[in-house]
Structure 1
Amino acid sequence: MAKIAVLGAGIMATALSFPSSENGNDVHLIGTFLDREIIDSIQKTGVHPDLGLKVNDGVTAHQLEEAAEVVHGADVVMCGVNSFGIEWAGEQLANLLEPGQKLLTITKGMRADDDGTLKLLPNVIKSYLDPELAEQISWNAITGPSIAGELAVHHDTCVVFCGHDQDDLDFIANLFRTDYYHVWTSLDFDGYETGAATKNVYAFAAGFADGMLRKAGKENDRYVMYNYSAAVFAQGQRELTSFIKLMGGNPDTATGLGGVGDMYVTSAGGRNVKAGGFVGEGVPFSEVRDRLMKGVTLEGVAAINVIGAALKPLTERGVIGPEEYPLCRFLYSVVAEDAPLEMPWDKFFGGLK
């Protein structure tokens, strides 16, 4: 039995408590300052209010003030905050982590320097730690197609745990593997984390076609826009593969769970797809952000803002060519400049030839 301490009590962090606790592990959910009502609910009723499910026996909920006590002596520490809180999480973990612990992140996204240099979020967390401590921590992450609610109710879910040490990965994976939670492992940490971050970019575009049909009053027509969506998906997958190579990962990673698989499930629905649907209806993104979906966390749009903005300085430095990433560049113009939905088809797939 292992002790697993989880910083963050959101739906995915809590969903992961199901397979880990069912394997007999001692699982502790630590709420952030935003999770107080969630922790209160679990402590009083056992129910996670957003999942609508009772957590398993063997899962204990704690408010943030108990974090140091809970993390002390843990075998595995999970970072379960969303990408908007990664700097806060870095500050917390810098004071909580102990030498020899294995960190397992589920937070996906990137940050960028002014020169366009892209950084994976686990490396952002690492930058907050004392360098000596950082070297004594095992850095690992969960990637792949995983909808929290489906995992929590035991629907078959296939993921990849990636890291830098195979023995550590084997240890962590065995804490979570069940007959419904199927875990593969990979040492292509940069490739899998890049795929997990960039697939969010293209989920936003997955909503365009449905919105365009609604705008035209054709949402119930026999003929819909699968052709449109398939071409956007294919170009997105092409760019995701290129991002993986840019970040030093194995391009083959893009063909499996950490690439096309994750991109498929993220494009199937959710908040980012809904936001893209409004844009497809002709609503400027600034209105979607400020009125229609005000206060809603849009991780895909956040990824577009970071990665899309980085493309210009990367191009100016000659790191990438001006013809690369036409869909990501276009999506950035939509969310940052309210550009109209005029898809640059002729630039896709290497340009018309």
Structure 2
Amino acid sequence: MSTIVVLGSGIMATALATPLHDNGHQVRLVGTHLDREIIDSIKSTGVHPNLKLQVPEGTEAYQLEEAQEAFEGAEYVMSGVNSFGVDWAGQQLATLLKPGMHVIALAKGMQADDEGNFTILPHALAAQVPEDVRSQVTWSAIAGPSIAGEVAVHRHTSVVFTNPDIAIAEMWKKMFETDFYHVWTSTDFVGVEVCACTKNCYALGAGFMQGLLDAMGEEAGDLYVNYNYGAALFGQASIEMQQFVSYFGGDPRTVMGLPGIGDCFVTSMGGRNVRVGRLVGSGLTFSEAKAKMPGVTLEGAAAIVVMGKAVERLTERGVIPPEQFPLLRHLYEVVGLDQKVDMPWKKFFGTNGSGVN
């Protein structure tokens, strides 16, 4: 049995206690400064208030001030914060990690500087840790189509664990994999992480499909919906995700599996990104739609702004040709510049509809 400390008690971080518990491991959940009510609830009732489920028996909950106690004797760490908390999490880990520990991260997103230079989130997380410790800790990540509640109630889920060293990825796989939580491993660390970010961008656009139908009202009827529209966006998204992975030096084939198309599919089926996209598709600007969802974290929108700004800057620098990424560029116009949806169909799919000219 191993002890895994989880920094962050969000729904996915907590849901992953289920396969770990099933494999006989001890899980210690450490809440962030925003998780106090969650940790209090788990301590007093054993129920995660957002998952609305009992956490696995034996799972221990700690407030942030108790993190040193939680990390005592642990060798394995999962960073369970979202993309907005990665730098903060790295700062916490800087005081908690010791040489020889293994870290695996859940956050999906990207950072970029003013010149358009990108940083994948596991690298951003590690960058906050002093080099003498950072170089003696392994850094891995989890990606793929995984809805937290389904994991927590033992629904079949297939994911990818990634690390440049396949032996480290396989080590994590052995800890997590069960008869319902199916794990594949990949050394395409950058490619998997680029998929994890970009799929959130394109899933927000999937909401436009239903939003446009909403705007039609009764005249749309119930017989014909808007699947043609959504399928075209999904097709263009798959092309652009491959282009992004290639730009970063990853393997474009990664897009065609769980981290890319698989995760883009499940994210496009619903959730916060799709809900805000639906409102935008119905005719609202992004700022108007966001105002209707107060307090909701929109990682897809944040990723669109990061990626869109960086692509514009890289185009200005002559690094990326202006004809690449037309869907991502329009998503940035909609989300980052508050423009209305006006899909640039003729810029999609190359000259023959295949995405290859």
TM-score, scaled to structure 1 = 0.98
Mapping for residues 158-237 of structure 1, pairs under 5 Å? 158-218=158-218, 220-237=221-238
Question: How far apart, in 2, do the equivalents of 1:214 and 1:191 lie?
Answer: 36
Q: Which residue of 1 aligns with 2:271?
A: 270
Task: In structure 1, give the amino acid aligned to 2:68.
Answer: A
Overall identity of the aligned pairs, in %: 54
Mapping for residues 328-347 of structure 1, pairs under 5 Å? 328-347=328-347
Q: Report the aligned-residue RMSD.
A: 1.1
Question: How far apart, in 1, do the equivalents of 2:277 and 2:296 lie?
Answer: 13
Question: How far apart, in 2, do the equivalents of 1:255 and 1:269 lie?
Answer: 21
**1:314 shift after superposition:** 0.8
Which runs of 5 or more residues in structure 1 are unaligned?
Answer: none
Instruction: Report if the CA contact (8 A) 1:212-1:280 is conserved.
Output: yes
**1:58 shift after superposition:** 2.3
Q: Which residue of 1 aligns with 2:300?
A: 300
Q: Which residue of 2 aligns with 1:142?
A: 142
Question: How far apart, in 1, do the equivalents of 2:317 and 2:336 lie?
Answer: 22
Deviates more, 1:16-25 or 1:127-136: 127-136
Question: How far apart, in 2, do the equivalents of 1:164 and 1:4 lie?
Answer: 21
Question: How far apart, in 1, do the equivalents of 2:268 and 2:248 lie?
Answer: 23
Instruction: Report if the CA contact (8 A) 2:284-2:340 is conserved.
Output: no
Question: How far apart, in 1, do the equivalents of 2:38 and 2:105 lie?
Answer: 20
Q: Which residue of 2 aligns with 1:132?
A: 132
Change (3 A) 1:138 1:348: same
CA offsets 1:195-241 (integer angstroms, 9 cap, x no match): 00110000110110111111111465201111000000110111111
Report how many residues are paired. Answer: 352
Misfit runs of 4+, over 4 Å: none
Mapping for residues 235-246 of structure 1, pairs under 5 Å? 235-246=236-247
Task: In structure 1, give the amino acid aligned to 2:299.
Answer: E
TM-score, scaled to structure 2 = 0.97
Instruction: Report if the CA contact (8 A) 1:19-1:176 is conserved.
Output: yes
**1:351 shift after superposition:** 4.9
Instruction: Report if the CA contact (8 A) 1:27-1:58 is conserved.
Output: yes
Q: Which residue of 1 aligns with 2:288?
A: 287
Instruction: Report if the CA contact (8 A) 2:159-2:258 is conserved.
Output: yes
**1:77 shift after superposition:** 0.4
**1:73 shift after superposition:** 2.6
Question: How far apart, in 2, do the equivalents of 1:193 and 1:71 lie?
Answer: 26
CA offsets 1:68-122 (integer angstroms, 9 cap, x no match): 2212331210000111111111111111111111100001100001100111011
Question: How far apart, in 2, do the equivalents of 1:131 and 1:314 lie?
Answer: 29
